[in-house]
Structure 1
Amino acid sequence: MTQTDPVPIVGWRGLLGPKYLGACTVLAGGVALYATNEFLTISLLPSAVAEIGGQRLYAWVTTVYLVASVVAATTVSATLARLGPRWSYLCGLGVFGVGSVLATFAPTMELLLVGRTVQGAGGGVLAGLGYAVINSVLPQSLWTKASALVSAMWGVGTIVGPAAGGLFAQFGSWRWAFGALVILTAVMAALVPFALPGREPGAELPPPSRIPVWSLLLLGTAALAISVAGILRHLAFTVALLVAGVALVLAFLVVDRRTSASVLPPTAFRPGPLKWIYVTLGLLMAATMVDMYVPLFGQRLAHLVPVAAGFLGAALAVGWTLGEIASASVTKQRVIVGLVVTAPVVMACGLGLAGLTQIEDTPIGVVAVWALALAMTGIGIGMTWPHLSAWAMGCVDDPSEGGTAAAAINTVQLICGAFGAGLAGVVFNMTDRGDATAARCLFAIFAVLALVGTVASFRATRAEA
């Protein structure tokens, strides 16, 4: 444990009181900005593709964003130690703003991908700082609720992102969606100096931190291999790339375990629940990436206008946010363990129900069932996320690993999101016939993925039961 002294249980009032309100506002705002941008493209991509082309690169818009985020997220601990919270956030916001400008004026899909990559680099720092500052600034009694607050911003982002993207697409102004992000980034940057401290005067600079280059190279290459598999239509090449992606992940685990500069804390490779906590987080996050195709299915199968399809894509986020807030308020350990164990089953049921109701010329009543199923999927991940995040930060063997364990939550979340996006692209491109076949296959496969998470969630709770 990173902190063994008994601490009082403090509620939401303690977290959002005057002492921590400024920090919480920036932490939540940074993650909300990142998450909104990730999901913004879900509902505006059909309009963007219609203008600039590049449908075969559809899934890459999310994948390159997440892969760049993973690489940048590994620099969070070193950046925070050397620059302090204030300048770390300002640097992340600056890079994010530049990427948003590039995406705003991109004339082709290839240049849009460049802008998304730069956005991901800045956004990865913002998302990683959220958990890193929780671990270093807030008392352990507030970790669960702070994790819930930060994680709930992913839910907010998946509500605001698809809805806003749909609104901009509805009026033929998808570029202004990225332009709005430029404005929000500037506003956020103006707030940072008033909310976060800089480095302590006279504080000694820490020694330069090594970046886990080989681990990142293996992870990034694995994610890109799966994304390339989604572009190809030749079955043999697709299978070969999928196998290569799995092999690269296994190689990452071997390399990361042996190197001193690692992505995962050493405790994750020892007996104990930490590795299962990360596996559970990763599988559930990957399963949510089915949501990136929901607005497309809504437009194609139910003939919804872009803004309505965008709100349909936000249903998962509504469930995620509600599940997160409700679950974070639970204090009985047996109830918490039960929530964590059953969460993957809830997600699988939601995804399965969504898959069973994918039909052509979908009537409005069935669309309502889609929304209910997606909300159920979101509730599944929301009910477990704050507890697993707090456990990950608190169950390391060495207190000095606390920062790495906290940053690894974000890394696992981002890289598994990239894998999920790549896998979604593979399934969609291999089964798309212009009817509901691709939608059914996509939801079915991701329901199985969520169900596999039940094994990991059970192992993750053994130390807490």
Structure 2
Amino acid sequence: MTSTVAPPGVLSPAYRACTLALSGTFVLVAFAGLALSTVMPIAVQELDGLGLYALAFGGFLTTGIIGTVLAGGWADRRGPAPALCAGLLCFSGGALLSGLAATMSVFLVGRYLQGFGGGAVTVALYVVVGRAYPTGLRPRMFSLITACWIVPSMVGPPVAGVVAETLSWHWVFHGIAFLAVLALVLLARPLSRLRTVGAPEEEGGGGEGGPVSGLGVVPALAVALGAGLLQYAGTPSAPYRLPAAVVGLVLLVVQLRPLLPAGTLRARRGIPSLVLLRGVAAGAYFTIETYIPLMLVNERQWSPGAAGMSLTGAALTWFAASWLQGRPRLPWPRERVVLVGALIHGAGAALTLSGTLRAMPAVTVAVGLLVAGFGMGLLLPGVGVLTLERSPTDQQGRNSASLQLSDSLSSVLLVVVCGALFNMAHVRAGQDTAAFAAVFGTALAVAAAAGPVARRITPPHPEEKNLATL
């Protein structure tokens, strides 16, 4: 009689310490993101910076580009621990500075420092998953990571809303600074056990990818500068807006391509399309998520806590979808699951746009975010799993950085465009139906492009790959 030995899980003795530390870190990161999004409308209005609302989010992502690129190369050379530690410290310092801000300019500087740290943290965490877990456990680990958003999604927005209403929004940022330091303490021991190079079991060479090297720092700085100039050009009443926009576009066009896998902007099959899909889907979702709290507070007179609960619902549907895609035996190939997620995400964006109409109940907007969140729960973990599977160990940092770069840059550009549209159509709080319709309509147009890109994420056949390199 033969006995069947169950394969190790993410909580088996070999992986338990790392899994618990990563889970604790993601719980803290999730709480930070949801809490800050909840209080952002209050902060910018108190600092008389409503016209710079988009810049508070877009600037965060712009500096995140630099952190992403630096952390990707650093993690490939030295392992993820140094990049992750530095990123958490920067994130904590930025949150503290924003919490102490008495002017919008100081607040934005803090947000930029947060963004730099956040970009480094995201890439480093991806590399930890790639280095610490074998291929068979990564889908389950991504599902667990998504599950870490459940409690923060239920607790974060209402707690942040109560703190902002009873004390001040400043204290929300101070609390986030403390939590980032706590995350660093939780990760110290598991990170010390990770090898600098190599990965578990079957990892070796091969896979898709380019030369073994980190992404270029100089192109990253140029792209971040270009994105920053475009955000400046979208700021109301800013001098020299046209020259800033022209220089920003030139920097992006010239310097972006070296930072992405060859063929990304042409949706070349395989990793290039995975990187492009991440950017298209995440940019549309981030834009919707950014403006929903502002719309519900300003247009429909919801309280910040109630508006933040729409983020809670989206986190729950995101988790439900991620749990489904993380099952050991999927009924469909993972590529098809990603495609279905892209289509559902687009349907949610369409529902959100319809919710801007006065004839529709305000809850329609929140329901649209719930649907979009479910689509992202299918799409985003699948993109991460497929990218790690197809990347050699010594390129996991580079390709993870490319994913995050695509995510951040797409979100920055879309927030810049939508911020400019919002400022052009803005009348006053309570009379901005057209402004929000322009924002959500633009996000829908971008989300609709995710479906065609998702059809190209399968690797090219050998003969196609050879022709592509000629």
TM-score normalised per structure 2? 0.82
Aligned residues: 438
Corresponding residue number in structure 2 for 1:411: 405
> How many angstroms apart in 1 are the aligned matches of 2:272 and 2:83?
29
> How many angstroms apart in 1 are the aligned matches of 2:145 and 2:245?
33
Match of 1:456 among 433, 453, 457: 453
> How many angstroms apart in 2 are the aligned matches of 1:450 and 1:379?
14
Corresponding residue number in structure 2 for 1:252: 255
**Residue 428 in 1 paired to residue 412 in 2?**
no
Q: CA RMSD in A?
A: 3.4
**SS in structure 2 at match of 1:272:** coil
Match of 2:176 among 178, 181, 189: 181
> How many angstroms apart in 1 are the aligned matches of 2:113 and 2:252?
24
Match of 1:272 among 258, 269, 273: 269
Match of 2:108 among 110, 113, 134: 113
Tell me the amino acid that sits aligned with residue 451 of structure 2: T
> How many angstroms apart in 1 are the aligned matches of 2:98 and 2:385?
35
Shift of 1:287: 0.5
Corresponding residue number in structure 2 for 1:312: 310
Shift of 1:452: 0.8
| Structure 2 contact 23–145 (Cα < 8 Å) conserved | yes
Alignment of 1:232-243 (within 5 A): 232=236
Unaligned stretches of 5+ in structure 1? Answer: 1-7, 204-208, 257-262
CA change 1:252–1:325 in 2 (3 A) is: farther
Shift of 1:52: 1.8
Shift of 1:77: 4.1
> How many angstroms apart in 1 are the aligned matches of 2:262 and 2:397?
12
> How many angstroms apart in 2 are the aligned matches of 1:461 and 1:10?
31
> How many angstroms apart in 2 are the aligned matches of 1:441 and 1:115?
29
**Residue 345 in 1 paired to residue 339 in 2?**
no
Deviations 1:112-153 (A, max 9, x none): 111112222222222111111111221111222223434565
CA change 1:350–1:265 in 2 (3 A) is: closer
| Structure 1 contact 282–412 (Cα < 8 Å) conserved | yes
CA change 1:243–1:454 in 2 (3 A) is: farther
Shift of 1:246: 5.3
Deviations 1:204-245 (A, max 9, x none): xxxxx76612321232133223322432379x957x866765
Shift of 1:163: 4.2
Match of 2:36 among 32, 35, 41: 41
Q: Give the share of equivalent positions with the same residue, in percent.
A: 23
> How many angstroms apart in 2 are the aligned matches of 1:374 and 1:120?
24
| Structure 1 contact 83–198 (Cα < 8 Å) conserved | no
Alignment of 1:282-301 (within 5 A): 282-289=279-286, 290-301=288-299
| Structure 1 contact 347–381 (Cα < 8 Å) conserved | yes
CA change 1:358–1:386 in 2 (3 A) is: same
**Residue 224 in 1 paired to residue 245 in 2?**
no
> How many angstroms apart in 2 are the aligned matches of 1:187 and 1:146?
22
**SS in structure 2 at match of 1:405:** helix
CA change 1:24–1:426 in 2 (3 A) is: farther
Tell me the amino acid that sits aligned with residue 142 of structure 1: L
Deviations 1:186-215 (A, max 9, x none): 3223322333325769x9xxxxx7661232
Alignment of 1:119-268 (within 5 A): 119-150=114-145, 162-197=157-192, 212-232=216-236, 247-254=250-257, 256=258, 263-265=259-261
**Residue 91 in 1 paired to residue 86 in 2?**
yes
**SS in structure 2 at match of 1:460:** coil
Alignment of 1:5-20 (within 5 A): 14-20=9-15
Tell me the amino acid that sits aligned with residue 325 of structure 2: S
> How many angstroms apart in 2 are the aligned matches of 1:330 and 1:173?
45
Corresponding residue number in structure 2 for 1:55: 50
Deviations 1:403-452 (A, max 9, x none): 32233223322332323332331222122232311222222221111011
| Structure 2 contact 223–256 (Cα < 8 Å) conserved | no
Unaligned stretches of 5+ in structure 2? Answer: 199-212, 462-470
CA change 1:156–1:244 in 2 (3 A) is: farther
**SS in structure 2 at match of 1:371:** helix
Tell me the amino acid that sits aligned with residue 417 of structure 2: L
